[in-house]
Amino acid sequence: MSRQELYPEIEPYDSGSLSVGDDHEIYWEISGNPDGKPVIFVHGGPGGGTTPKQRQFFDPAHYRIVLFDQRGCGKSLPLGSLVNNDTQHLISDMEALRELLAIESWLVFGGSWGSTLSLAYAQAHPDRTEALILRGIFLSRQSELDWFMSKEGMGAIFPEAYDDFIASLPEDEHDDIFNSFYTRLTDPDPAIHMPVAKAWSGYEGSCVCLVPDPEVIAASRMDSKALSTARIEAHYFKHGSFLPEEGLLGHVDKIRHIPAVIVHGRYDIVCPITTAYTLSKAWPEAEFRVIDDAGHSANEPGIAKALVEAMEKFKALP
Which of 31, 76, 81, 112 is flagged as catalytic? 112
Angle ∠(122,128,130) on CA atoms, nearest 5:
80
Annotation says 112 is catalytic: yes
The residue among 248, 273, 246 whose CA lies nearest residue 262 is 273
Dihedral of alpha carbons 17, 19, 20, 22, sign: positive
Distance (Å, whole) CA 298 – CA 264: 9
Is position 296 annotated as part of the catalytic site? yes
- Length of the chain equals 318
Single out the catalytic residue among 220, 268, 280, 297. Answer: 268
Query: Which among 24, 89, 193, 296 is annotated as catalytic?
Result: 296
Which is it for strands 106-111 and 129-135: parallel, antiparallel or unpaired?
parallel
Question: Is 193 noted as a catalytic residue in this protein?
Answer: no
Q: What are residue 16's DSSP bridge partners?
A: 28
Beta bridge partners of 287: 261
User: What gap in Å lies between CA 136 and CA 265, rounded to an integer?
Assistant: 7
**Which residues are marked as active site?**
112, 268, 296
